[in-house]
Structure 1
Amino acid sequence: MQKFLISHIEKCTGCARCLLVCSALKEGQFIPFKSRVHFVNFARDGFSVPNICFHCEEPACQEACPVEAISRDEWGAVVVDDDTCTGCDECVDACPYGMIDLNGHGLAYKCDLCSGDPECVKVCQPQAIVYAVLDEEASHNRIFLMKQQFKEGMAKQKRLSFAHALKGMYG
């Protein structure tokens, strides 16, 4: 059975360990805006929401890629082939959840589930992010977050403004 990253928003403390380990592993730097995991911190309301790639059943990013640089790997992750990607930005525009972006080299990047062993899960002590087969509760949480992110427009504009704010802080 396929495993998924599952976000339990009620457990997230906003510690950002998931962002830090992801950016360190994938980019070699502890800089949250370079992470493949994102979260929005609603400090005034006292909660945070981890935003993770859903590795959609029918990925819009994959469908939009004109050079077929996006595929599904053996763990079920929707992944980008850096050697094929041209940096056209079509996948970024197509993702309704804002979970794919272009890196400093102009190539698309996103969560790749760390080859079936996600590091973000290992460091999430409150278990706000888990990697598991979907049960009824996890399936409900996943669908809720997908709808919420789509409805609230967490896609490109809000996430990019958040990333630019962080970039200004961290260079």
Structure 2
Amino acid sequence: MDNSQRFYDALAMQGSWVRVLVTQRHRPHTSRVRKQAMLFAFMHLCFLLVFAMHFFHTIVAWVLAFLLQTAAVFVSVLHLVFVLEYEDRTNNAMELEQQLNPLIIAELSIRLFSLVHLFMLRWWISLVFSLAEPLYDYWIFRRGAFLVDATSAWKQLRLLRLDARLRIVYHAILLVFSSIALVFSIVEERES
């Protein structure tokens, strides 16, 4: 399967939570599929909540932006944990592909939604820094290594580990920026 087909399948996976949790909930699904569906349903619910609360209050919008960035850090840590677990065991590359590809798409979705949210908040500095991840993801996609392929995961293990660590560092830096923006918005709100 080529890289673009894996990408489209992973994107379609984001909408599978409707089928698994709503329309076909009485059918048997594996626990992995149910957990994956719950991850995407929760993620989309959070996106809707962040978007709705943006119009409610400024500080609430910044708190939710901080929580959104915290979720991105959590997903990045899970990404690294799965890569390191595979590196230690090195027994099932298909399992690694099934675990990592939804997380990679979730990371991309969180970042893209975060870009929209930062644009709505008009915090241009963080918006510029947040553009680095989609550009990096596009560069990796063009190289053909954006999503994990079970047939070549053992060859790309060093690159997968480096990519996961880079993502954690990047998200941690953005978490610091987000916390600074949260503090500034609270101080600005108190002064006015």
Q: Same fold (TM over 0.5)?
A: no
Higher normalized strand content (fraction of residues) = 1
Name the TM-score, length of structure 1 as normaliser.
Answer: 0.28
- Bigger radius of gyration among the two: 2
Name the TM-score, length of structure 2 as normaliser.
Answer: 0.26
